Amino acid sequence: MQLIQETSDMNGYLDSSEIIDFEDLDIQKIAMMLSKGTNDEMRLIKTVYEFVRDDISHSMDINSNIVTYQASEVLKYGHGLCLSKSHLLAAILRFLDIPTGFCYQKLEFDGEFGLHGLNAVFFKDLGKWVRLDARGNENGINAQFSIDKEFLAYSPKAENGEIDFPVIYSEPDKRVIEILSRSNDLNEVLTKIFHTKW
Tell me the per-residue pLDDT of 108-131, one tens digit each, with 9 for 90 and over: 998 999 999 999 999 999 999 999
Indicate whether 139 pLDDT > 90.
Answer: no
Report how far residue 68's alpha carbon sits from residue 24's, in angstroms, rounded to the nearest whole number.
15
Report how far residue 187's alpha carbon sits from residue 52's, in angstroms, rounded to the nearest whole number.
23
CATH code for the domain in which residue 12 is found: 3.10.620.30
Domain membership flag for residue 83: yes
Domain membership flag for residue 198: no
* Structural domain boundaries enclosing 127: 4-193
Report how far residue 149's alpha carbon sits from residue 63's, in angstroms, rounded to the nearest whole number.
32
Indicate whether 91 pLDDT > 90.
Answer: yes
Look at the chain and report how many structural domains it folds into.
1
Report how far residue 131's alpha carbon sits from residue 98's, in angstroms, rounded to the nearest whole number.
13
Average of per-residue pLDDT across 62-70: 96
Average of per-residue pLDDT across 83-97: 98
